[in-house]
Amino acid sequence: MPNSFYNEIKHIVGVSDENATFPEVMQQFCSSPSGKVGLIQRIKDHFDYAYAHLSIYKDATRFHRELATFFPIDTIVTTNWDSYFEDICAATPFIEDRDIALWEVADRKVLKIHGSISNFGSIVATTTDYEACNERLKKGLLGAHLKSLLATRSTVFVGYSLKDDDFLQVYDSVRESLSDFHRQAYFISPDISADDRSRLTAMNLFLIETDGTFFLSQLKGHSTKHRCIAPDDMYDDVIKLLVSVEEAHSWLHDHYNAQKYPQILFCSWYQDGLKHALERILRLRATGRYSDLHQISHSFRAYHGYAERYRKIRRFDDASYCYGYANAYLYAGLTAEERASMDAPLFFYFDAELQNSSQYRKALKHLPDLHKTAFKYAEGVVKRHPYLSSHVLHHKDQLDLSLVQK
C-alpha cells in the first residue's frame, strides 16, 4: 500500500510520537468527532483500495494463494481483519465464542481473534477494544480454544510480530503451563532485527529468516516428493485440457448433428462429464481438495465404478457422462511428465476413446457396431427429441446415484 493504515491514521490525528502503539493511535482517532464509526469506515476504505488495485491485491494475497492448495494446513489463527483466508483459502471464520461449537463442521478454519472486516462490530482496534478482547481471551470459549490449539498443535508464526499483549498473555500462559512439554514453535520473517531476535529467542522460538511465501513453497515442494500431494502446475494443465474439451465439443456439434448421427450423443455427454469434472477441480482449488492425490484417486475409482454400473443397467447417457468425469480425475492424478507425454481422450463411444477429431471422424460411421444396444438407446433419444438436428442435448451436472450406489 502507499501508506500503512497505522501511518495513515497517525497523520490524520497528528501523532508524532514514534513509539505510539497501534491501539493508542486508533483510540485517539475515535476521540475525534468521527468516532468509532469513522474508524471502521476508514478500515473498510483501506481494504476496498487494495481490492480495487490488482497489483496491490495480488501482493496482499500472495501468501494466501500459496497456502490454498496445501491441504494439510487446516487451522489458522490471525489477528488480521482482512477476509483473505476466507476468500483465497476457503477457510471458515470463527470470531465469536458461540462459533466454536461448530468448529468440526468446517474443513479449514481461521480463528480471528481481533475480528473481521466482514463483521464490523467484531473489529479490535482501539485500546478499549484490546482490553475487552484480553478479557474475552482469558475467560471465553474462543480463548480457551486458542489455548487448546497452542497446547496440542505445532505453531508456525508467519508475518506476525508477536507483540499483541492479549495474544502474548495467552501464549505465555500455555507455555508456562506445559513447561517442558510445550511444543516447538517456529517464527518466519524475512528480516529479524537484533532486538527481535533476542526477544523471540527468549520465547524459545525457532527462528527462520526468510520470506513466508517462499518458506511455504519450499514446504510444499518437499511434501510433493514425500507425500501424495499434487504440485500446483496440475491446475494449469487442467485449464489447458478444459479449453481443449470445449473446443472439441464445439467441433463435434459444428460438424455433426444427433438427428443424422445418434452415436455422437455419447461423445457429447462424455465431454460434458469431462468438462464438469475439470471445472469442479478448478472451482475447489482454494480448498486444496484435489491437491490430495488420495482424493483424486478415490474420485476416479468412484466415477468409473458408477459408469460401469450405469452401463450395466443400460443408462447409457449417465454411463458416458461418468466415463468423462472419471477421466478428468485420472488426468489430474498423473504426474507432470505423464500429462506432458500423452493426449487425453477428447472423443468417446463405448469401448472407444479417441484423442482427437481426426480419429473420431474416421471412426464415426463404424461406432454403432461397437455397441449396438447403446446405439438403439441413442436412436430412441433422438425420436423423443426431434429438434436435435439443430440443438444440443446436454447432460446436466448431477446424477441419480441411488441407482448405482451399493
pLDDT tens string 235-286? 999 999 999 999 999 999 999 999 999 999 999 999 999 999 999 999 999 9
Domain with 222, as residue range(s), is 62-226
CA–CA distance, 167 with 113 (Å, rounded to integer): 8
88 and 152 share one domain? yes
Q: 201 with 266, same domain?
A: no
Q: In this structure, is the dihedral angle defined by the CA atoms of residues 255, 260, 262 and 265, taken in order, positive or negative? A: positive
Give pLDDT, residue 306: 96
- In this structure, the answer to whether residues 241 and 255 fall within a common structural domain is yes
Q: Which residue, 226, 253, 284, sits at the end of a domain?
A: 226
Give me the pLDDT at residue 3, please. 81
| 141 and 85 together in one domain | yes
Residue with cell 497505522: 6
Q: Could you tell me if 140 and 31 lie in one domain?
A: no
Cα(322)–Cα(352) distance, rounded to whole angstroms?
A: 15
Alpha-carbon span 237 to 243, nearest angstrom: 10
- Are 36 and 93 within one domain? no
CATH of the domain at 149: 3.40.50
Q: Are strands 352-354 and 347-349 parallel, antiparallel or unpaired?
A: antiparallel
The answer to whether residues 213 and 175 belong to one domain is yes
Q: Give the count of domains, the chain.
A: 3
Q: Last residue of some domain: 40, 60, 80?
A: 60
* Of 344, 229, 339, 322, residue with least CA distance to 277: 322
Give the residue from 386, 402, 70, 356 showing the smallest Cα distance to 232. 70
Check residue 225 and give its pLDDT. 84
Helix 316-332 and helix 372-384, axial crossing angle in degrees, nearest 10: 110
Determine the pLDDT at residue 196. Answer: 92
Q: What is the DSSP letter of 183?
A: P
Long-range CB contacts (within 8 A, 24+) of 290-298: 290/230, 290/332, 291/69, 291/70, 291/71, 291/229, 291/230, 291/232, 291/234, 292/71, 292/228, 292/229, 292/230, 293/228, 293/229, 293/230, 293/333, 294/228, 296/230, 296/329, 296/332, 296/333, 297/329, 297/333
Find out whether 121 and 44 touch, Cβ atoms under 8 Å. no
Q: Domain check: are 188 and 255 in the same one? A: no
Same domain, 389 and 256: yes
Report the amino acid identity of residue 384: R
- pLDDT 10s digits, 185-223: 999 999 999 999 999 999 999 999 999 999 999 999 998
**Structure confidence at residue 406 (pLDDT):** 66
Contact 278, 241 (CB under 8 A): yes
Whether 126 and 219 share a structural domain: yes
pLDDT at 309: 96
Same domain? For 187 and 317 the reply is no
Phi and psi at 275, nearest 5°, equal: -65, -45
- Give pTM, 2 decimals: 0.92
From 60, 86, 103, the end of a domain falls on 60
> Is there a single domain that holds both residue 220 and residue 291?
no
Point out the residues of the chain with pLDDT beneath 70. 406
Q: What angle do CA 5, 34, 44 make, to 5 degrees?
A: 40
